Structure 1
């Protein structure tokens, strides 16, 4: 680890962490008054000209900017060759540069070693006609060897100088020259860093600084420039390409991959860093090396001193503290501490503990899998050091649901078919239980027992249990439809729900344990499920569950049941979806007679009210339970128009049934709506 840090082997991950610090900090508003005049795609379109633009245009731009008396003007465009449009084109630009008096032109000296020839230098400075006596400074970006990202800015570069003994001379960088001109013109800012190169404190992605398209400063086709006079007063103005097609874009902390930052905006970030005095200071490599060594020792100590799980938590806490410490140093003091080396050292130190813990846990899971279901097993392993799954008394809501008449149904079918049906049905029901945060306690044949508020607290346990029951009813109809098409059988289910205290935890023998609940609360839940058919409803809940429900459910009191061993009877309620409440009802002046067809039978029933959503009817056969599809007809007496509708039995109580309409006839729909609107309540 020490060697890796000292040799720079971890530079890539260190730079990655620095970029993450920038991302977490986010975009900050620049303080330096920098404005960028962008050579961009809109300018190519508006000016109807591709690159390069005539240099006389640049001269016109500079004159317009200079008229506003900016602090300094930097041109991030190279003019190493005479203009293809002739010397007059160069002279127009040169005259504008000279007249402004505060322009810095860019250069890009390149050095190339050729065997047998030596070092060849390409000066890449503006031609004499353009530069005149203006300041010329190198604009090169410094690319890191690891990933070619631009993170640092040199404050000076060595350029060829025949008069020097070394053949080179030290020249201040482009941004330094611009900053000095701005300070000389009155900009109040921090002094330049006393370093050779610095880490740039990037403000954000592109366009963090104001952009003005090049064409907006040009007079064209009789149109005046779009930028108001005085806009550039007291500003540092940079002119440079931002279009990707000019290939002057680079990866930076905020912009990587295909979306990179224009070089001219990197210069803007450098200038703002100078102005704030907030260049990012790097902690010594030797300090980072010592940090990595110390972290590795801490990791090793955790392996020796602590349990594997606690070692992981402690190591993660140490890593978190180191990361926060490093980030706060970056955020408030502009200091970059190479923390990834310490992180790698720390995790290598306790890596053996993590591996050992994993192997031991897998061995323990294999041993315990014969006792627990997968759901409970995960919690047993997770809480194996405490007694959170031990038997305790707690408030729970229990749900029982089974298929009505399944024993008779199974006698008609082959065992393999029954097994496949059960697998499909129980899988659907289990998914619903899990979706509402319940725990499947057990399957008893076709019966599902589910618990809520166990093993972990859930304030809405009663509500979620009832939602589960309603979804059970809906999903059972879907399953029944599939089975009717495949096997010619239909199914209905009943759901019983109760809330109360029970003993919950791992129970059983020394040979086999399971996570379950026992007590009168559980027994009453099972009893409620068993009487759903008797009351002709799909779901029955106890008064204890009913007290905990919210307004999203519509309930109907069904009566009372006597619980074995209890002196007081318990009130019970049927549950309907709250969506039925959105239909106002209208009472009829007299009972109306209906013809209803359902389940292969036809009956004459009566009703005393109606809504757009359905009606309550009396006199339907006892065999028509919730879910039975029906057709309703009333030729006259009920409405001005004949009533025709299809629907489904939503609830039953003795001979009374609730029909939920699935479709009203074309003439009946407006007639019902009008009737309810004038007489509804």
Structure 2
């Protein structure tokens, strides 16, 4: 029945699914990009120009400067030096020179030296570099390659600069410039962006500025069109029309603005021929860094999800409403989403890439209307041959029903978490906690899958696993127990790695219960998940919490123990009344895997147990030994489960001394079991030889 409903639902929504698939293809192939960029530019236009908030002024190398100074380009570098001296006299916060100075001056070394000395005197000059990829080798052959040349300013100029930054500006697919990279590869190292270096210099000079955003490249938050930032001509500074005091506490950017110098670009505000020179684009980028308000861009996967959701939503409206009402609803939804996207852009400086949603709505509505019309007519003609109108309506009603199914079945549930995770989290950095948790959960999930379990959910550091669901598993109790024992071994390995790195050990506690539970897909029609609920699940969770109280790693209920075979060693812990149950429940601890797996032999020798790292030692009595560990008596009460110890035994029938690092695995009064973590090289053969001569348990 469920399959029939699912098939019916898929049939009714196949138009929406097809539209969603088409929308995904359009988005992932980048066919929507020009439309998205156009919409972004419209948002900038609707928002309009905003007065700059950063104290940035542009010294323009323009046509009038060529005329007034009666000098051809490139200007003498001594002239640039004079310009820097005049600007620096006004005590600006920083001076950015958006000019390429990668070759020596044609006027000789003194020309370069004059500029270098002026840069050094100013002390806050950031120079420009333009790393470029060049084709090398035999370009006509398959083994040609490209290399990057730094194009840095020459040493004579660069040595006194406060910084050097890359000025390269990548274009979007539609040929407009909207982004600015934070750094660029020079072929040797990463060179910070021109604006990033200026941000560093002005911040050091005391200008309040936001930290650099993590995203790279940034989407520039343009203040407005051409000349939104104040311009003064190069010649006006040189002839004194603009006095040095004008530059006090400002950020001064010097660069070409003439169209003839081919350093102009189309931006979101460009209309017609009003392209923006690179130096003003850098002004916009620098202000974006200073204010900390780049345009945050939704990633492509978000656009894909939005397109799919919009297509399916439009399809759902068509399926449930009359086509005209659906059209009105889709149109209203488009208006609401567009207005919301614009408000988010203006107030939140975020670009939602809303055209993907528009595409999804259009395709979802159009494709579904056509498909719905064709399918409905064909379906009615077909069904009319077999059913009366009343029965036909009933069939249609059932096809529209959506139901959530679940069933009662026997399951074994396992809960596992990290002991003392909250306290552990307080000692470590968040990144270390996340890495540790990821490693632990990865190991846990791997073990669960290995033994046929299903990961129901993650709850912080806790994992809930089900056995005998959703697939039948007659040995679900056995597989849950195998999971628990192997998980303890895996946890010790994970702990050993973390102890080496941070001196922090981790241990896990596991609770297992068996009984009936309601299992299936649960939730709302908006969100479903496969899970199990019931008293069996609640008791399993409570048992996991009791592991710390009883000092054991694994606690199982009497309902689970009844279904175990003799391969598992358990000891009764007592009866507990768990919250939510009126009758007490017997609970049992499961001995560690090492003590279960290895053959044991009775041993009675002199032994000393030492607390690792503390030097505190106690004589203890030995009970038995295996290749995996020992059972001891007379162990101090304060040495709880999980305590790291060192054991040394000698005498008796041992052919030699036995020494090992170990961990307390279980306790009962003054008796304890220890699991070997590492045996001395000579101790392993000694234990093996002893066991071979004493085949007893």
- Normalising by structure 1, report the TM-score: 0.49
- Normalising by structure 2, report the TM-score: 0.48
Q: Which protein shows a greater Rg? A: 1
